[in-house]
Amino acid sequence: MKKILLLAVSIAAFSACATRTLCDNCTDFTLSGEFRSSANEEAVIEFGNGCEVLFHGGEMDGSIKSGSLLHVRNLYRSIAEDGEWTPFCICVNGKTTRVCIDGIEVVCYTEPTNPYRKDGRQLLAEGPVTIKQMKGRVPFRKLSFKSESEAIEAPAPIDEATDRTIRFQQEDFPVIDYHVHAKGGLTTAMADSLQKLYGINYGVGPNVGNGGVGLMLGSEEEVLDHYENVKNLPFFRTIQGEGRKWSGVIPKEALDVFDCLYTDAMTIVDGSGRLVRLYRPEEVDIASIGEEAYMEMIVDQTVKILSNEPADIFANATYIPDEMQPRYDALWTDERIDRVLDVLQENGIALEISARYRIPSEKIIRKAKERGIKFTFGTNNAGPDFGRLEYSLDMAKACGLAADDMWFPSQGTRKSRKPVVYNKFSDDDKTFLFDGSSLSGWVPVCDDPDVFSVKDSHIYVKGNPFGYLRTDKKYKDYTLHVEWRWIGAGTNSGIFQRVQDGDKVWPCGVECQLMAGKAGDLVLLGGARIAEIPYDPTVKFPVKERNHPGAAIELEDGVWNRAEIICRGHEMLVYINGNFENSATLSSDEGYIALQSEGGELEFKNIYIY
């Protein structure tokens, strides 16, 4: 029979040193109730052999927060609002401990067979369950204790014999990855499961601005809507400034609601005023000015970015193009390093240690530490498999970083800095193919021309009957930018390149597939040829699959996706939501551009070439 003990006494009535034993000797249990946290008070619920769940509020200043399984799964952002009565529940079932704050699961930890513990404590075992006031008085009420636990869906234990994270947790070193994106198949639900499994606190956020990979927020409304959707999730609420225009486009007040904002120098403005993404080889032109001059340009741009864009964290710090990577140490001279560290120090910007790119080097990290610059860890993941901050933790150990060396949102200075529009951008280099109000400049090829129309400044496509809407003139060398979204469930459409004369369904041309789940495939229409697919007269519509078949490259239905299609001479490159998905050698170097109607309702907008 279950033993149920209901406690109606408020723990707030106890003295600062008081303890209250709820059970003299038990293993599995469920304890629920409410607490009220503040920055100046701390209490723990102790059980087993030194296991403790902490109750402590305050700002995000590096102190451990409510819901933490102390020294095993430390948390650094509290779900509970200070001064508000907040529900909590602690369940222990076998080797699994589950902690919920305000109905949100914040810890779910399964103790392995051979756990790593510095002093042999913080282990599940038979023993008393006790509430202890550690500092001041944390009020509790409506407490209910059951000496048996409810069922828990237990995660698989981590092998702590080799796990880096538990060693840092045991030292109360903050293990936080502020730079996680829900993209490439990683959802916020998956990220939540991973952070509880690995014991790594995550900051999960999108890009704001233009030109990046994955979800891009381009307006104040989109930014604030996103914040409303994530503000109660168990992550740091983060956002990344992308593309060098963000700080002049999104109002500062909309960005200030986030816990932290980071930016990088992976997109720069070159000497001709052109935006260059250093991670895209086709945009990087080192040969025209030489490697040393190109490196100087990167450093100059980095200093401008960090001086004028009010960010908390310099992410992907010291990244240089792949072509230059073999000479990273030689190119990052002391003088160049110092120029970047000077601006970080001057503006109170933290330096990210990137697990994905394994940068900055140990030398740069040590120089930054000597100056008192703060650090963060970040991954900048491409998908759901992004490791456990291995390089970041290795560098922390190698460089002797301590908890005091790490940055927290309470140390941020960006809210006191004004954004400076230091680059002059215009649309002079863009040729807009759609004016937002009419189909002027377009020719419908379809049994029902009304399948294409303009609604709410977008090109609306019914999907049936089949056909396409082509430009009224041909184009040769260009980068085409198109955004699309499905109305309802994603179905089928496409963007045609190098369409030849002779209007028919279907014309001679190369289709960039937009079919849901296959965006970025290339489909050869009407006898079109590419060098990568041998000619076979028995195949009506040959297909060259995208680089990441089966991956979650497209965004969810109803969200705007982006395609960038580069045609230069006979070369074609395809990016979907910033992901490089295909390339081909075309037989033609000129043709019309077209949008397809093939089965599903959708909309197109922001159609331009440059």
Q: pLDDT category, 12, cuts 50, 70, 90? A: very low
Q: What is the predicted pLDDT for the residue at 463?
A: 93
Q: How confident is the model at residue 1 (pLDDT cuts 50, 70, 90)?
A: very low
Residue 236, beta-bridge partner list: 203
SS3 at position 590: coil
How far apart (Å, rounded) are the C-alpha atoms in residues 574 and 595?
15
Place of tokens 């059970």: 23
pLDDT band at 218 (very low <50, low <70, confident <90, very high): confident
Mean pLDDT of all residues in 24-47: 95
pLDDT value, residue 13: 42
How would DSSP label each residue in 8-76?
A: -S-GGGS-TT-EEEEEEEESSEEEEEEEE--TT-EEEEEETBTEEEEE---SSSSS--TT-BTTTB--S
List the single range of 302-306, 407-411, 445-449, 552-556 with lowest mean pLDDT. Answer: 552-556
Q: What is the CA radius of gyration of the chain?
A: 28
Q: Could you write out the three-class secondary structure of 91-154? A: EEECCEEEEEECCEEEEEEECCCCCCCCCCCCECCCEEEEEEEEECCCCEEEEEEECCCCCCCC
Mean pLDDT confidence for 416-436:
79
User: Do you know the residue count of the chain?
Assistant: 610
pLDDT at residue 332 tops 90: yes
Q: What is the mean pLDDT of residues 166-185?
A: 95
Average pLDDT over residues 398-404: 98
Classify residue 227 by its DSSP letter. Answer: H
Q: Which CATH superfamily is domain 431-609 in?
A: Exo-inulinase; domain 1 (2.60.120.560)
* Lowest-confidence pick of 5-14, 55-64, 548-557, 594-603: 5-14
pLDDT exceeds 50 at position 9: no
Q: Residue ranges of the domains in the chain? A: 4-146, 173-416, 431-609
| Cα-based distances in Å from 51 to 127, 181, 230 | 10, 33, 31
pLDDT > 70? residue 85: yes
- Is the pLDDT assigned to residue 16 strictly greater than 70? no
Q: Is 431-609 the same fold as 173-416? A: no
What was the pLDDT predicted at 183?
A: 86
Distance CA(415)–CA(436), nearest Å, equals 36
Single pTM value for the model: 0.83
308: which residues sit within 8 A by CB, 6+ positions away?
247, 419, 420, 422
Residue 320 has pLDDT above 50, yes or no: yes
Confidence tier at 425 by pLDDT (50, 70, 90): low
* Whole-number Cα distances in Å, 565 to 209, 351, 459, 547, 550: 19, 34, 19, 15, 21
Q: What whole-number distance in Å separates Cα of residue 404 and Cα of residue 394?
A: 17
> What's 449's DSSP letter?
G
Instruction: Classify 4-146 by CATH class.
Output: mainly beta
- What's residue 557's pLDDT? 86
Q: Output the six-digit token pair for 526.
A: 């009407």
* Per-residue pLDDT at 10: 40
CB 76 within 8 A of CB 237: no
**The pLDDT of residue 101 is above 90:** yes
Q: Region 536-563: what's the mean pLDDT? A: 90
pLDDT band at 11 (very low <50, low <70, confident <90, very high): very low
Identify whether 409 is preceded by a cis peptide bond (ω within 30 of 0): no
Please compute, for residue 44, the number of CA atoms within 13 A of its CA located in the half-sphere on the CB side.
17
The reported pLDDT for the residue numbered 296 is: 95
Cis peptide upstream of residue 534 (ω within 30 degrees of 0):
no
Does residue 159 carry a pLDDT above 60? Answer: yes
Dump pLDDT digits (tens) for 237-259: 999 999 888 888 888 999 999 99
Q: Mean pLDDT across the stretch 549-575?
A: 90
pLDDT, average across residues 363-392: 96
pLDDT class for 446, splitting at 50, 70, 90?
very high
Domain 173-416 classification at class level:
alpha beta
